[in-house]
């Protein structure tokens, strides 16, 4: 299998793992764990596991020395993804409805495609546009089930919606920055330093907006869940996320992340025994079709200039 094919398999794994984070979060939130503290914990736990391979290989590679000339890119990666995107997402979720948040999170691929055109010169081909449209539409249908939709609108909910929109914009920026970063550094270096940079900002936000003493009240089960999420759903998943962008366009990766909604509904049905509605099944089929079309789309070939006539 080609490296691009392996990268697409990694994306399937990543989307499944990140969908399971929602299931894991419900376990720890039942013990009054707060969202930003949960995010801060998972990235803090992930950091030493990402540092280990760097320490082991530092004598054989020049990767540790690449931090200084690339610190701006790594700073942007850490702030845009783990910090701004995650923090704003959970803050917005607290002041808007869950259905609004889930719907608006699907804007991230749209932002990514639009940003990748001028920044990364990733062309918007017909196949990519069709895949984006179908995958986004499908993901929206998945979360638009009759139980979750709240028809009432107020100023607080609108503010929450705007905060969630900003979080999707920053996650799209993180994907673009990640694509730039892996051009000069390996995925381990990018993941480790972006994670390390985000940690103090996350804990500061948790201290300001939440009560960090809740970590003293967690059960062994909740600690096991947090450690698992830190190692697998954060360290391993983000490592594969950045590595996949070495072989796949950043905009395509973002479109494929709509599969998180598909995995999320399936896992909620299997593990939480939540009902599945026909509209969600239709949305899942449309999302998968959109991702397949995106995966099959190719970059446009450059137009060849006709040879000049020799007079």
Distance CA 264, CA 260 (A): 6
pLDDT of res. 150:
60
Distance CA 171, CA 177 (A): 10
Determine the average pLDDT of the residues in 94-119: 82
- Angle of helix 220-228 relative to helix 3-29, nearest 10 degrees? 160
Note the pLDDT tens digit of each residue in 264-311: 888 888 887 877 888 888 988 999 999 999 988 876 554 434 444 443
Note the pLDDT tens digit of each residue in 183-242: 888 888 899 999 999 999 999 999 998 999 999 999 999 999 999 999 999 999 999 999
Distance CA 8, CA 11 (A): 5
* Neighbouring C-beta atoms of residue 272, cutoff 10 Å: 10
Is the pLDDT score of 59 beyond 80?
A: no
* Neighbouring C-beta atoms of residue 231, cutoff 10 Å: 17
Distance CA 37, CA 202 (A): 8
Q: Quick one: which H or E segment has residue 115?
A: helix 107-120
């Amino acid at each position: 299998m080609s490296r691009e094919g392996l990268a697409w398999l990694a994306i399937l794994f990543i989307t499944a793992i990140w969908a399971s984070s929602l299931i894991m979060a419900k376990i720890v939130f039942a013990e009054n764990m707060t969202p930003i503290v949960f995010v801060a914990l998972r990235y803090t736990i992930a950091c030493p596991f990402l540092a280990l391979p760097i320490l082991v290989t530092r004598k054989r590679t020049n990767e540790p020395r690449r931090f200084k000339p690339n610190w701006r890119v790594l700073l942007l990666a850490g702030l845009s993804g783990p910090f701004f995107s995650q923090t704003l997402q959970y803050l917005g979720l607290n002041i808007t409805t869950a259905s609004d948040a889930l719907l608006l999170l699907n804007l991230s691929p749209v932002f990514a495609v639009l940003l990748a055109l001028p920044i990364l010169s990733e062309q918007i081909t017909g196949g990519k546009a069709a895949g984006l449209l179908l995958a986004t539409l499908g993901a929206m249908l998945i979360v638009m089930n009759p139980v979750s939709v709240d028809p009432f609108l107020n100023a607080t909910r609108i503010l929450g919606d705007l905060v969630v929109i900003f979080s999707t914009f920053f996650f799209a920026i993180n994907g673009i920055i990640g694509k730039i970063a892996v051009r000069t550094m390996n995925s381990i270096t990018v993941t480790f330093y972006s994670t390390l940079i985000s940690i103090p900002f996350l804990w500061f936000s948790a201290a300001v907006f939440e009560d960090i003493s809740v970590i003293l009240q967690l059960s062994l089960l909740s600690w096991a869940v947090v450690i698992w999420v830190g190692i697998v759903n954060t360290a391993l998943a983000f490592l594969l996320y950045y590595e996949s962008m070495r072989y796949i366009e950043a905009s395509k990766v973002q479109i494929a992340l709509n599969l998180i909604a598909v995995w999320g509904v399936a896992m909620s049905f299997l593990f939480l025994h939540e009902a599945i509605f026909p509209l969600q099944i239709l949305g899942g089929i449309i999302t998968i079709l959109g991702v397949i079309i995106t995966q099959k789309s190719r970059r446009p070939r450059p137009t060849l200039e006709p040879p000049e006539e020799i007079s």
